Amino acid sequence: MPWGRTDPFDAAVVEAVEEAVLNALTAARETTGRNGHRSPALPVDRVVGLVTA
């Protein structure tokens, strides 16, 4: 669907999903799991820089 042909409901859904994804990415903390496997957190300042660019 072309962006210019979305109705307000579609646009609201897109914005809500985008917000949910960004919240999930920035809320995640560094964790260490089983057998010492490490999952680092994303650097929030870099994510904000990419989103606002």
Q: Is 26 exposed, middle or buried (0-12, 13-18, 19+ CB in 10 A)?
A: middle
pTM for the whole structure: 0.61
What's residue 38's pLDDT? Answer: 94
Per-residue pLDDT, 34: 94
Give CA–CA dist 11/3, Å, rounded: 9
pLDDT tens, residue by residue, 1-53: 676 787 888 889 989 999 999 888 888 899 999 999 999 998 988 888 888 87
Model pLDDT, residue 1: 67
Query: For residue 30, what pLDDT is reported?
Result: 92
Task: Name the token pair of 3.
Answer: 């962006």
